A and B are shown apart, each in its own frame.
Chain A
Amino acid sequence: MLGGVIAGSVYALIAISLVLIHNGTGVVNFAFGDQLMAGVYVLVFSQHFLGLSLAPAVAIAVVVSGLFGLAIQFLVMAPLRNRPVLIPIVATIAIGAVLREGIRAFMGPNAWPVPFLLSTSPYHIGGVSIVPSDLAILGTSVIIMLCLYAFFEFTKYGQAILAACANPTGALIVGIPAGATTTSIWILSSMLAAIAGIVIAPLTTLTPDIGLIAIKGFAAAVLGGFASLPGAVVGGVLLGIIEAMAGYYISSAMKDIASYAVLVAVIVFRPTGLFNRASIRKV
């Protein structure tokens, strides 16, 4: 249960980034999982080959990932912005494949060890065992979400991004530069990708295929309605719990299928997510 919440908090981070990009640019970013993977590999690379300690390595990973988001926007998304939506989506798929195969070729297909953020030896406090590394995952996710909340709620830039997401034309009319907001969304979500990756990677094994975890982010985002950021958070935690339950009560194979099943079930029966009312599309 607690494990579910912990995994869920990371799914929530992923879902937030996906929803941000979807609302702000109209594209579902299928490269996200691979950006996440690449972020962790940058961390591993700077630790093993540049000999950096954990903190600067994390900083480098986040910055590099952000720069990569910038590159995606300028090199790929901006030239394709007036194309039918299928083309940018396929482009993100291709970018993801480039990252995955590039890392596979450069770092090899085998798993790399990723350091936990805190120690894994549990403390026992009154019969409850608390693992610092789990707390670190949960804590990081919560802190990031609070930062995002503060950013969107209290700063001019955050408000501008939200406005551009809610109503792109309206935002343009009141003078919010569309290009700048799109660019900052790509940078922001790419940095989130690296953070989410660094947080979750110690729990799994780091191979070039770790990016498939993004599917859980998709499921979480859909659960929350693919429109609202708070929805994405709730969806993420909910998915983590569902997954843990399915793995515990049914079978561990079900744990993997659970997120797919949730994705299909929610989209088919409640395409607006669990919390939103159906929106009426006007002609």
Chain B
Amino acid sequence: MLWLAIAVSAPFFAGQHLLYNIGIVATTAAIVSGLTLISGVGGLISIAQSAFVAIGCYCAVLLNLHLGIPMLIGIPIAAAVSGAVGWLLGFLCLRLDGHFLALVTLAFSGIVHYAIINLDIAGGAVGLAVPTVTLFGFVMDSPMAIYVITVVASGLTLWFIGLLINSRYGRVLRALRQSEIAAVSLGVDRRSLRTMALATSAVAGGFAGSFQMLQVTYLDPHQFTIVSSVFYIAIMVVGGMRSVHGAIIGAAIFVFVPEFLSGLETYMAFILFLLVTVFIVIMPDGLASIFSVPGRISRWISSRFERKNKNA
């Protein structure tokens, strides 16, 4: 609810630059929410999120450039393509978990990056300009229009992933993380579940990524390296990887902290990652875990009282 309030009220108080940044936070959070599902809830490490984003972006743009399909129709198709690739990747690796899945997704990220650079149709190393969006005949290219479109799309993605995490499906996925043996012995189909989780995270990445591309307005293949995949993981861990709130908090930190640190110039990225490392060590559950602190304190106090009562 808090997020909704911020997103709706932002156009009234924020200047153009801040509005742009809030839009970026929204799309980044939606991209990361896919990771939250597969890694945070499902316990599988995927280093392929930026590859899925790339697939979504390039599909949408190429559909528009070569087949004349409008962006707003092309983006869901592209997200579906991205999901299909994710499903295929999941299907191929269904007997893997842990480090091996991390390595396969890492290699997948690398392959997609090289493929984009070496494919002429995708603009090669130069990249592609993003076509404008038209809705009911109007060209949506004002910052406000782009803000509304992208925030609505990412809001929907986050809402959907949030529902999914708390649904029966999400609970089964969580059970699988906590005790695979117990879950499987209770009749959970591990393989299809994990494949679907990877596909869903790919859809979220492709969908929200395509909308982020509308904000950035240019497709540069260097946005889609292994390093960017790793970035998404860092966002998830810093924010908190158990819920979509973590994705939003993490995205906000990774968008706004560099703004504050921009005075440090070349040392900015260094300080940022140093903070991230320190953060992981002191707060491995992510910033979103602050919200559970009051609960933990009250539980601690009540356990104290119980002990005293026992002694008495």
What residues make up the interface of A, taking CB atoms closer than 8 Å to B?
22, 28, 30, 75-76, 79-80, 83-87, 89-91, 93-95, 97-98, 101-102, 104-105, 212, 215, 218-219, 222, 226, 253, 256-257, 260-261, 263-264, 267-268, 271, 283
Contact = CB atoms under 8 A, between A and B. Distances in A.
Nearest to A83: B284
Nearest to B233: A90
Contacts of B104: 263-264, 267-268
Given A80-B280, A215-B107, A268-B93, A256 B114 contact: yes
Nearest to B91: A268
B115 to A, nearest CB: 8
Given A80-B280, A215-B107, A260-B111, A86 B267 contact: no
Most A CB within 10 A of own CB, among B114, B277, B284:
B277
Contact of B106 (A215, A271, A283): A215
B216 interface: no
For chain B, the bracket of interface size reads 35 or more
Nearest to A209: B227
A269 to B, nearest CB: 9
Interface stretch (B67-75, B194-202, B207-215, B268-276): B268-276
Contact of A98 (B93, B233, B237, B274): B274
> What 8 A-B pairs have minimum CB-CB distances, sorted nearest first?
A101-B269, A97-B273, A101-B270, A263-B107, A260-B107, A94-B277, A105-B266, A102-B270
B45 A89 contact: yes
Interface stretch (B95-103, B152-160, B299-307): B95-103
A40 B57 CA distance: 37
Contacts of B111: 257, 260-261, 264
8 contacts: A22-B99, A89-B99, A93-B233, A212-B226, A218-B106, A226-B99, A257-B114, A271-B100
A105 B102 contact: no
A98 B280 contact: no
Contacts of A80: 280-281, 284
Given A79-B281, A268-B93, A271-B100, A260 B276 contact: no
B43 interface: yes
A187 to B, nearest CB: 19
Interface string B264-302: 001101101110110011001000000000000000000
B82 interface: no
Contact of B114 (A85, A90, A253, A283): A253
Contacts of A86: 39, 43, 45, 237, 241
A264 B93 CA distance: 9
Contacts of A263: 103-104, 106-107
B254 interface: no
B118 interface: yes
Interface in B194-245: 226-227, 230, 233-234, 237, 241
Contacts of A89: 45, 99, 102
Contacts of B266: 104-105
Nearest to B230: A93
Contacts, number: 115
Contacts of A93: 230, 233-234
Contact of A95 (B103, B241, B277): B277
A87 B92 contact: no
A221 to B, nearest CB: 9
Contact of A87 (B110, B227, B237): B237
Contacts of B100: 222, 226, 267, 271
Given A85-B98, A105-B267, A267-B103, A94 B273 contact: yes
B108 interface: yes
Contacts of A264: 92, 104, 107-108, 111
A102 B272 CA distance: 10
Contacts of B108: 260, 264
Contacts of B277: 76, 91, 94-95, 98
A105 B269 contact: yes
Interface string B45-56: 100000000000
Nearest to A78: B281
Contacts of A22: 99
Contacts of A260: 107-108, 110-111, 114
A260 B106 CA distance: 9
Contacts of A222: 100, 103
Given A94-B276, A215-B107, A263-B103, A75 B234 contact: no
Contacts of B281: 75-76, 79-80, 91
A105 B181 CA distance: 47
Contacts of B237: 86-87, 90
Contacts of B98: 85
A243 B237 CA distance: 35
A94 B284 contact: no
A191 B63 CA distance: 50
Nearest to A91: B280
Nearest to B105: A264
A79 B279 CA distance: 12
Contacts of B103: 28, 218, 222, 263, 267
A28 B99 contact: yes
Interface in B149-197: 181
Nearest to A219: B107
Contacts of A91: 277, 280-281
Most A CB within 10 A of own CB, among B114, B267, B284:
B284
